Chain A
Amino acid sequence: MWDSIKEFAADFFVTGDPLIYGADVSIALVSIAIVFVLTYFKKWKWLWREWLTTVDHKKIGIMYLIASLLMLFRGGVDAILMRMQLALPDVEFLQADHYNAIFTTHGTIMILFMAMPMMFALFNMVVPLQIGARDVAFPFLNALSFWMFLFGAMLLNISFVIGGSPDAGWLSYPPLSELSGSPGRGQDFYIWGIQISGIGSLATGINFIVTILKMRAPGMKLMKMPLFSWSVLSASITILFAFPILTVTLALLFLDRYFGAHFFTLDGGGMSMLYVNLIWMWGHPEVYIVVLPAFGIFSEIVATFSRKTVFGYNSMVFAMMVISVLSFFTWVHHFYTMGSSADVNAFFAITTMAISIPTGVKIFNWLFTMYRGRIKFDLPMLWTMGFIPCFLVGGATGVMLAVAPANFQYHNSYFLVAHFHQVLIGGVVFGYLAGIYYWWPKLFGFKLDEKRGRWGFWFWNIGFYLCFFPQYFLGLDGMTRRVYTYGWDRGWAALNFASTAGAFLMGVGFIFQVWQIAYSVRKGERDKTGDIWNGRTLEWSIPSPPPVYNFARVPQVQHVDDWWREKEDRENGIVRPQPELEPIHMPKNSGIPFIMSSFWFLIGFGFTFDWIWLVIIGFLGVFGSMYARSFTYDVDYYIPVDEIKKTEQKLRGATT
C-alpha cells in the first residue's frame, strides 16, 4: 500500500530538484494564505458573485490583466533563471533538462499566456467603451473565453510541480515532441493547456469581430471608429483564420502521441515538415495578432498626448488591414534552412520584406502626428517614445533576417533571439504597458504613480538594450539558441554577462511597476472627471470607473474623435441634445463558464495522465454545463431609469 502510494507520488510530482521543492512549498503557502484571507474576511461569496460569475467586460478585462501580470512574473522568473545559467561559461546552476524545460515554458507562457491575455485585457477593458457599447456582443461567451484561457494556462503552469514540464521548445517540433522524443507528461500538458485556452482565444476573436461590426454607437461609421478598435478588428480577423490552424495542428500531434497515429512521425507515412509548416502558418500571424493592437494603442496615445488628430487615418487603417492579410503569406521565413527550393525561399523573402512597408508607414504617421503638436511625456507617451527606436531597430533586423541567403547565417542563433525579443518586448510589451498606463485610470478610477513609473521605465529600457544588443553579436559569433552551457574557449563570456545584467535590470523595472501599483492603490491621483488625459474618444466621456452599463445614454457619434469635438463644441457654447433615459438591457451573471472550464481542465489533466475515468467525468461535466445553459431562459434583466439616475448622480455629481 505504502509502496504503491510512493510509486504514484514519484510519477505524479516532480522530484529531485531543490528549486522545485522550493516552488512546491511556496505554492502551498500561497494557496493556504489565499484560502485563509478569503475565509477570515468572509469574501468567498463576494468572490463568486462579483468575479467568478461576472459577465461584465470590464471585470473580465481586469481578471485577464491580473492573470497576464502573474504570467509575466512567471515567464520573467524563467528568463532570469536562464540568464543566470548563461551568465558565464560552464555554470552549473541548472541541469540540461531543467534548462530545456525552462526555455520551453518561458516561450509558451510569454506568447500564449502573457501576451495574449494582456491583449484580451485591453480588448475587454477598452473596446466596448470606445465604440459606445454596453458590453460585448456575447457576454456569456466572453466569460467562458476567459475561464477557458485561465484553466488552460493553469494546466500548463502546474506541469512544473506535477508530472513534469514540456521541454521540446515552445513550438515543439516533431519528432522531438512525439512520444519517441518526449515520452514524459510535459508534452501532453503543453498540448492540452494550449488547446483549452486556444478555444477561448478563438471565441474572443469572434466575439470582438461581432462586437465591433454590430455594436458601434449610432453614427460611428467604420471609418469614424477609433484606431485602437480598428486594430482590434484586424487582430480578431487574423485570430479567426490563424487559431483553427493551431488547434488542428496540436490535435494531430495529440493523435500521434495518444493513438499512435503517424501525421508527423517519419515512419508510417508521416511528415514532420508538415508540422513545421502548419505551426508557423499559425505562428507567424500570431506575432502580428499581438502586435497589431499595440499599433492601435500607440495611435490613440500619440494623438492624445500630442493634442492633435492622428495623421493619415485612412493610411493607418489600410496599413493594418494589409498587415493582417500579408501576415498569412510569410510563414516560410521561419525555416528557409529546411531546404525549400530557391523559388519558394525567394517568394517568402519578398513577402516578408513587403510586410515591413505598411509597418514602416505607421511609424511615419505617428511621427507626423507628433509634428506640430504639443507633446506631453506622461507615462503612456513615455513608453510610446521608448517603443519607436526599439521597434525601428527590431524591424530592421527583421528585414535583415528576411534576406533568405543571409538568414542561413542568423537562423536559430542569438541574432534571431535578439530580434524577436526586440519586436516582442519593444513592440508588444512596451505597447501593452503604454496601454495599461493609459486606460488604467478609466478602469480603476486612479492614476498610476508617475515617479515610480519613470524608474520602472528607465530600468526596463536600459535593461532591454543591455540584455539584447549583446545577443545580436553573440549570434553573429556562432552562439545558437537553446544551448544550456558553453565553454570559455568560445569568447562569449563578456557579452553573455552583460546580457544577464540587462535581464536583471528589466526585473528591477518590473519590481518598480509592482511597487507603483501597490503605492497608487492608496496614494495615486484620483480621477474625478473621467477624462484625466484630456482624451479624444468616447471612453473618456463617461465616469471612471464606468458604471456597469457604461453609457447611461447611447452616444450619437458624428466625427472621428467624437468626444474631442464635443468638448470643442461645448467651449463654443453648443450643447448636444440629451435624450431621455431609458431602461437598460443587461446580461445576468452566470457560474456556468467557470464550472464548464474547470471540467475542461479535468479533461486535459485526465488525458495527460491517462486517467480515462477523469476524462469521462470532464466530458460529462462539459455537456452537463452546455445542457444547463441551453435551458436557462433567465439570462437578462433591465436596469430601471430611477436606478440609472441615482447611479449617474452619484458618479457625476448633480450634472445629469
Chain B
Amino acid sequence: MKATHKRLRMLGIILVGVGMAVFLAGCGNPMVLDPKGQIADIQKEMIWISIILCAIIIVPVLGIWIYISVRYRDKPDNKAPYEPNWSHSTKLEVIWWGIPIIVVGVLGYFTVVATYDLIKPPKATANVEPLTIEVTSMDWKWLFQYPDQDIATVNYLNIPENTPIQFVLTSNTAMNSFWVPQLGGMMYTMPGMAMRLWLQAEGPGEYLGMGANFSGSEFAKMHFKVKSMPQNEFDAWVAKSQDEPAKLTRETYAKLAVKGTVPIQTFGQNEPTLFASIVVKNGGHHGISIRGSDPVKSNQQSSGVKSEAETKEVSGSQQPEQNQ
C-alpha cells in the first residue's frame, strides 16, 4: 500500500517535471509579448497591467486556500479552533467586496484609456503620411490592394517601416479576422462592410499574419507573411511590382474568388473600384461606412469610391439569389 503511494507520488513528480520542461521550452517569447510596433506595444502593456492586477488578488487567495485546507483538516489531534456556527462578519465581507471593486476600478480606468487610444492612428508617427491598404478575405486567401501605389498582392504584404498603415478590411464570403500579432490586435473582416484597423511596424522585419475567424474548409491555410522594410526599399518593391504583367481586373478577381487556396501573387495594376464594389455587392447598400476606428482626413479619398451612382450601379450586379 505504502509502496504504491510512493510510486504514485514519483509518477506525479515526473509528470509535473516533464510538463514544466516542455512548457518552458515551448513558451520562449510568444509573438504577442514580443511586439514590433506601437499598437502591439500598448496591447502588451495592457496585458501585463492586467496580469499584475489579477495576481494581486489570486496569489494571496491561493495562499489562504492552502493555509485553510491544511490547518482545518479534520484530524483527531487538530487543535485549531472549531466554530461551527460562525457564519457572518460584516467587516470581512466589506473587505472582500471592497478589494475586487478597487482592483476592477483601476483596471477599468486603464482599459478605457487604452480603448480610446487604440482607435486613433499611432501617435509616435502622427507626422508621417499613412499608407492605405485594402484587405479582402476570400475563400481561402487574402487579397491586398494598394490603391495609392496601384498594385495588389495575394497572400503577402510588404509595408514601409515606421509608417502608420491604415487597413481597410472587408470580406468576399464568410466573416474572417485580420491578425498580425506582432504588429497589433485583430479586426473582423465582414462582407458588406468596411472596417478600419491601424497598425505600424518599427524597423524592418518579417511577421506572421493570419485569418483568425473560422471561415470554412481551408481556413487553416489563410496565413501570410508581412514584411516591413525601409521606405526606399518599399518604393523599389512598388516600382518593380508595377512592372508585373499580371493585372488585377474584375476577371482576374472572379478567378481568384473561386473557392480554394492559391500561392502568393503580385498584380502590376490595381482595379481602383474593385474594393468598393466588393463591399457593395455583398450588401453594403448604405454606401461604404467604415466601422472600427478614426480615419485620417487626407487619406479618405484613397480608400475606394463611395459615390451614390457607383453604389447603385454595382448593387445591380448582385450575386444570384441564394435560394432553394
Q: A interface vs B, CB < 8 Å?
A: 96-97, 100, 168-169, 173, 175-176, 178-181, 258, 260, 265-270, 272-273, 306-313, 315, 335, 337-342, 345-346, 349-350, 353-354, 356-357, 360-361, 363-365, 367-377, 385, 388-389, 392-393, 396, 399-400, 402-413, 458, 462, 465-466, 469-470, 473, 475-478, 480-486, 490-492, 494-495, 497-498, 610
Give chain B nearest CB distance to A161 CB in angstroms.
21
Query: In the complex, are the beta carbons of A372 and B80 less than 8 A apart?
Result: yes
Contact of B300 with A by CB under 8 A = no
Closest to B279 in A: A266
Best-buried of A270, A342, A374, A409 by chain B (most CB within 10 Å): A409
Q: Which listed residue (A180, A307, A412, A462) contacts B186, Cβ 8 A?
A: A412
Closest to B171 in A: A175
Known: A180-B319, A342-B118. 8 other contacts (CB 8 A): A179-B322, A181-B174, A267-B283, A346-B111, A361-B93, A375-B68, A476-B33, A481-B214
State the CA gap A409–B175 with chains docked (Å): 18
Contacts A175-B191, A498-B22 known; A480 to B185 CB distance under 8 Å?
no
Contact of B119 with A by CB under 8 A = yes
State the CA gap A306–B69 with chains docked (Å): 10
Contact of B177 with A by CB under 8 A = yes
Query: In the complex, are the beta carbons of B50 and A312 less than 8 A apart?
Result: no
Query: In the complex, are the beta carbons of B54 and A400 less than 8 A apart?
Result: yes
Query: In the complex, are the beta carbons of B115 and A345 less than 8 A apart?
Result: yes
Closest to A458 in B: B12
List the B side residues contacting A357 at CB < 8 Å: 97, 100-101, 104
List the B side residues contacting A342 at CB < 8 Å: 115-116, 118-119
Q: B interface vs A, CB < 8 Å?
A: 12, 15-16, 19, 22-23, 25-28, 30-33, 40, 42-44, 46-47, 49-51, 53-55, 57-58, 61-62, 64-65, 68-69, 72-74, 78, 80-89, 92-93, 96-97, 100-101, 104, 107-108, 110-112, 114-119, 173-175, 177, 179, 181, 184-188, 190-193, 195-196, 208, 210-220, 281-283, 285, 291-292, 318-319, 321-324
State the CA gap A476–B321 with chains docked (Å): 41
Give chain B nearest CB distance to A191 CB in angstroms.
15
Query: In the complex, are the beta carbons of A393 and B58 less than 8 A apart?
Result: yes
Query: In the complex, are the beta carbons of B173 and A181 less than 8 A apart?
Result: yes
State the CA gap A405–B281 with chains docked (Å): 31
Query: In the complex, are the beta carbons of A409 and B181 less than 8 A apart?
Result: yes
Contacts A308-B84, A353-B108 known; A337 to B175 CB distance under 8 Å?
no
State the CA gap A231–B291 with chains docked (Å): 40
Q: Which listed residue (A96, A356, A368, A411) contacts B218, Cβ 8 A?
A: A96
Contacts A312-B93, A495-B23 known; A405 to B117 CB distance under 8 Å?
yes
List the B side residues contacting A97 at CB < 8 Å: 217
State the CA gap A589–B125 with chains docked (Å): 75
List the B side residues contacting A370 at CB < 8 Å: 68-69, 72
Query: In the complex, are the beta carbons of B72 and A374 less than 8 A apart?
Result: yes
Query: In the complex, are the beta carbons of B215 and A176 less than 8 A apart?
Result: yes
Q: Which listed residue (A270, A409, A458) contacts B32, Cβ 8 A?
A: A409
List the A side residues contacting B19 at CB < 8 Å: 465-466, 498
List the B side residues contacting A363 at CB < 8 Å: 61
Query: In the complex, are the beta carbons of B179 and A267 less than 8 A apart?
Result: no
State the CA gap A483–B208 with chains docked (Å): 15
State the CA gap A392–B66 with chains docked (Å): 13
Closest to B185 in A: A408
Query: In the complex, are the beta carbons of A360 and B69 less than 8 A apart?
Result: no
List the B side residues contacting A371 at CB < 8 Å: 68, 72
Give chain A nearest CB distance to B172 CB in angstroms.
10
Q: Which listed residue (B100, B181, B319) contacts A478, Cβ 8 A?
A: B181
Q: Which listed residue (A178, A307, A353) contacts B322, Cβ 8 A?
A: A178
Query: In the complex, are the beta carbons of A349 and B208 less than 8 A apart?
Result: no
Q: Which listed residue (A311, A312, A470) contacts B23, Cβ 8 A?
A: A470
Query: In the complex, are the beta carbons of A392 and B61 less than 8 A apart?
Result: yes
State the CA gap A470–B47 with chains docked (Å): 18
List the B side residues contacting A385 at CB < 8 Å: 69
Closest to A182 in B: B216
Query: In the complex, are the beta carbons of A477 and B69 less than 8 A apart?
Result: no
List the A side residues contacting B58 at CB < 8 Å: 392-393, 396
Give chain A nearest CB distance to B209 CB in angstroms.
9
Query: In the complex, are the beta carbons of A476 and B88 less than 8 A apart?
Result: no
List the B side residues contacting A96 at CB < 8 Å: 217-220
Best-buried of A175, A179, A407 by chain B (most CB within 10 Å): A175
State the CA gap A462–B100 with chains docked (Å): 29
State the CA gap A481–B175 with chains docked (Å): 15
List the B side residues contacting A368 at CB < 8 Å: 89, 92
State the CA gap A480–B50 with chains docked (Å): 22
Q: Which listed residue (B69, B82, B173, B318) contacts A267, Cβ 8 A?
A: B318
Give chain B nearest CB distance to A360 CB in angstroms.
5
Q: Which listed residue (B27, B43, B55, B64) contacts A406, Cβ 8 A?
A: B43
Give chain A nearest CB distance to B107 CB in angstroms.
6
Q: Which listed residue (A258, A338, A473, A484) contacts B324, Cβ 8 A?
A: A258
List the A side residues contacting B26 at CB < 8 Å: 470, 473, 491-492, 494-495, 498
State the CA gap A579–B177 with chains docked (Å): 68
State the CA gap A360–B291 with chains docked (Å): 35
Query: In the complex, are the beta carbons of A375 and B100 less than 8 A apart?
Result: no
Closest to A493 in B: B26
State the CA gap A466–B53 with chains docked (Å): 25
Best-buried of A354, A367, A480 by chain B (most CB within 10 Å): A480
State the CA gap A456–B173 with chains docked (Å): 45
List the B side residues contacting A400 at CB < 8 Å: 47, 50-51, 54
List the A side residues contacting B78 at CB < 8 Å: 374
Contacts A477-B31, A486-B220 known; A497 to B22 CB distance under 8 Å?
yes
Query: In the complex, are the beta carbons of A338 and B12 less than 8 A apart?
Result: no
Give chain A nearest CB distance to B48 CB in angstroms.
9
State the CA gap A491–B51 with chains docked (Å): 25
Q: Which listed residue (A260, A411, A610) contacts B177, Cβ 8 A?
A: A411
Query: In the complex, are the beta carbons of B177 and A405 less than 8 A apart?
Result: no
The 10 closest A-B pairs by CB, nearest first: A408-B185, A266-B283, A339-B291, A476-B30, A483-B220, A495-B26, A477-B30, A266-B192, A396-B54, A176-B174
Give chain B nearest CB distance to A14 CB in angstroms.
16
State the CA gap A267–B87 with chains docked (Å): 60
List the B side residues contacting A399 at CB < 8 Å: 50, 53-54, 104, 107
Query: In the complex, are the beta carbons of A364 and B115 less than 8 A apart?
Result: no
State the CA gap A64–B261 with chains docked (Å): 45
Give chain A nearest CB distance to B103 CB in angstroms.
9
Query: In the complex, are the beta carbons of A482 and B187 less than 8 A apart?
Result: no
Q: Can you list 21 pairs linking A and B with CB atoms under 8 Å apart?
A: A175-B191, A267-B319, A311-B86, A337-B177, A342-B119, A357-B100, A374-B82, A375-B68, A385-B69, A403-B107, A405-B111, A405-B185, A408-B43, A408-B118, A409-B185, A412-B212, A480-B211, A482-B214, A482-B220, A495-B23, A498-B23
State the CA gap A272–B74 with chains docked (Å): 57
Query: In the complex, are the beta carbons of B104 and A354 less than 8 A apart?
Result: yes
State the CA gap A410–B12 with chains docked (Å): 32
Query: In the complex, are the beta carbons of B87 and A313 less than 8 A apart?
Result: yes
State the CA gap A475–B185 with chains docked (Å): 12
State the CA gap A356–B216 with chains docked (Å): 34
Give chain A nearest CB distance to B90 CB in angstroms.
10
Closest to A454 in B: B8
State the CA gap A411–B118 with chains docked (Å): 16
State the CA gap A339–B216 with chains docked (Å): 22
Query: In the complex, are the beta carbons of B74 and A375 less than 8 A apart?
Result: yes
Query: In the complex, are the beta carbons of B50 and A406 less than 8 A apart?
Result: yes
Closest to A415 in B: B32
State the CA gap A159–B188 with chains docked (Å): 30
Give chain A nearest CB distance to B26 CB in angstroms.
4
Q: Which listed residue (B16, B31, B175) contacts A476, Cβ 8 A?
A: B31
Query: In the complex, are the beta carbons of B115 and A349 less than 8 A apart?
Result: yes
Query: In the complex, are the beta carbons of A356 and B100 less than 8 A apart?
Result: yes
List the B side residues contacting A346 at CB < 8 Å: 111-112, 115-116
Q: Which listed residue (B65, B80, B175, B187) contacts A175, Cβ 8 A?
A: B175
Q: Which listed residue (A175, A354, A393, A411) contacts B212, Cβ 8 A?
A: A411
